[in-house]
Amino acid sequence: MHPESSQREDRIIQIFIFCCLLAYLFGWRVPLMEVDAVQYANISREMLQSGHFLQVYDQGKDYLDKPPMLFWLSSLSMYLLGVTDIAYRLPSYLFAILAIYSTYRFALLFYKKQIALLSALVLASCQAMFLITHDVRTDTMLMGWVALGIWQLAAWYKNRKWSQLFMAALAIAGGLMTKGPIALMVPVFAFAPHFILQRSFKELFHWEYIILLLVIGILLIPMSIGLYQQFDLHPEKIMDGHSGTSGLKFFFWTQSFGRITGSNPWHENASFFFLFQNLLWGFLPWTIFFILGLITSVSELIKKRFRIPKDEEWISTGGFIITYCSLAISHYQLPHYIYVVLPLAAIITGKYVYQLLYLKKPENWGKPLFIFHAVIFSLMTIVLLMLLYFPFPPINKLLFALCLTSIFLIILAFIKKWLPTPPLLTMCVLVILLINLFVDNGFYPPLLQYQTGVKASDIINQQQLDKDRFFLYKIPEQRSMAFYSNHSFKQVADPDTLKVSDCLMTDKKGLDSLDMKKFKLIYEGQSFHVSMLDLKFLNPNTRSKSTVPYYILRKE
């Protein structure tokens, strides 16, 4: 390949990555979704306003599920920018960028620049990244910490700089304070098989590891103090129906290893292939390339009789496989648990994409894969147009026209060969950008109006209702309502105790129990669990059979 042509392709890939980072921001038009994202945002708001930074509370109750790092950084962001969903999402967005950059820099230690860029592009443009930068949980931040830790450890093994070891310790500690021991185990899972396959057994034993663990331990002291003060000093507290809960034991054992041993009380989605099934859509549009790349990597290792030379790495493949197996044997799994190793999957994929599309190996595979993906992407585009046109009439004609125009321009780009990158690579990136941009702007915003707390907050703010005189009656607490109203609403047991002009929100059962002569209906809305979409809801003619009514009333 001519050097100038290669440089131009590299610039296009960099532009693609930048477009993905920009597209994430369009997802911020989507309100936070129940349950996890808006719960964590509300905890961060509560932490900021209460000033309790070592102890974590959810709606005033003791919270023992996730470590505090997400809440610390999000509450800091809210302190600087105000209590908004943008402020909540910003730290995780920055960690998404950190994960992409760390993936690039790690790959650059072992591969040529083009493979490193492709790996970064694969991570930046996979569907999971679009999702976890607007439906923000702990996984985006965890991914950034882990990717940084693996990069810095790999750099330390090559250069032996203390600054790199200390940065690795900071990253691992940050990950531990984001989602627990998984942040330490993934680097172990990644580097241990790498050194064993290289027969570099001495790398498994360095006195510097003592310093690494010591620094990690020191950095964990603030979190540990908070856990001890909140739980270990108060064995009388009831958590999950039991007293005597140790916060330290929960975070360093039960929450992670307890899911494997069964000591964790949660049991769900325990199939070994559950995470892989979810990875099939979460890693789009690169799923097929990843599977082929993983098979190729394992096949080459077998051919080499499980021994790799010093200039090769098995960190990415070994780290992905062992981490996946460890998570897959857990008694409790959720789809996003596998996202911690997406950077490793991206490197496996980046290597294979380079081999397939640039070196043309294996031969004659490019065209069949192009046709296969063209068919799949065509179907996905049809589904996109249907989502923009049918579920929420009247349609946004301008947005629909822009979508059709974008599709036309993408097709024209292939016909005219405007871009120097391989057509299959270009198609993967442009289609995933197209889908996410228009879903985030044309489908999600009207969908989230069926999330009770979001719409109710709009009504409260638009009609300037007094939040201190707004109550909930026979309806569950709405965290999204608390967050978007920046207020914690109280339950009322007896509506007769309300004063004139007080407001309440209730459901059909609560409405039927009220003396409507004393109340005026302000708003009637329809509620739906937006993360549980079905065809009945998506069809406007049958939607009322899936939704649940709620009511906002004023005492007269």
| 367-413 pLDDT tens trace | 899 899 889 989 998 998 898 888 988 888 888 888 888 888 888 88
pLDDT at 418 over 90: no
User: What pLDDT is stored for residue 365 in this prediction?
Assistant: 86
- 104 neighbors 116 (Cβ within 8 angstroms): yes
- Residue 530, preceding bond cis, omega within 30 degrees? no
Q: List the one residue out of 227, 211, 194 whose CA is nearest residue 316.
A: 194
385-404: b (≥16 Cβ within 10 Å) or e: eebbeebbeeebeeeeebbe
Residue spans per domain, the chain? 31-357, 370-449, 451-555
Token pair listed for 122? 């694969």
Average pLDDT over residues 191-199: 94
Average pLDDT over residues 172-195: 93
Instruction: Give the C-alpha separation, 51 to 34, whole Å.
Output: 25
pLDDT at 4 over 70: no
User: What pLDDT is stored for residue 167 in this prediction?
Assistant: 96
User: What pLDDT is stored for residue 496 in this prediction?
Assistant: 84
C-alpha distances out from residue 254 to 85, 88, 185, 237, Å: 31, 28, 15, 17
484-500: b (≥16 Cβ within 10 Å) or e: bbbbbbeebeebeebee
Instruction: Give the C-alpha separation, 94 to 499, whole Å.
Output: 47
Give percent above pLDDT 90 in the chain.
45
Instruction: Give the C-alpha separation, 128 to 166, whole Å.
Output: 30
In this structure, are strands 490-491 and 470-473 parallel, antiparallel, or unpaired?
A: parallel
Read off the pLDDT band of 5 (50, 70, 90): low
User: What pLDDT is stored for residue 153 in this prediction?
Assistant: 96
Average pLDDT over residues 122-150: 94
HSE at residue 118, side-chain half, CA atoms within 13 A, is: 28
- 437 neighbors 22 (Cβ within 8 angstroms): no
Read off the pLDDT band of 264 (50, 70, 90): low
pLDDT at 263 over 60: no
At 62-117, the pLDDT tens digits run 888 889 999 999 999 999 999 999 999 999 999 999 999 999 999 999 999 999 99
Q: Poorest-confidence range of 29-38, 168-177, 412-421, 470-479?
A: 412-421
- 480 neighbors 34 (Cβ within 8 angstroms): yes
Q: Phi and psi of 264, rounded to 5°?
A: -75, 135
Q: Which amino acid is at 520?
A: K
pLDDT at 157 over 80: yes
Q: Is the dihedral of CA 337, 72, 94, 100 positive or negative?
A: negative
Average pLDDT over residues 21-35: 88
Q: Poorest-confidence range of 245-249, 351-355, 502-506?
A: 245-249
pLDDT at 1 over 60: no
Q: What is the mean pLDDT of the chain?
A: 88
Instruction: Give the C-alpha separation, 432 to 428, whole Å.
Output: 6
Instruction: Give the C-alpha separation, 174 to 163, whole Å.
Output: 16
Read off the pLDDT band of 294 (50, 70, 90): very high
Q: Which amino acid is at 203?
A: E
Q: Tokens 């003592």 appear where?
A: 210
Read off the pLDDT band of 132 (50, 70, 90): very high
Average pLDDT over residues 152-159: 94
pTM passes above 0.85: yes
pLDDT at 261 over 70: no
Instruction: Give the C-alpha separation, 88 to 70, whole Å.
Output: 9
User: What pLDDT is stored for residue 268 in this prediction?
Assistant: 60
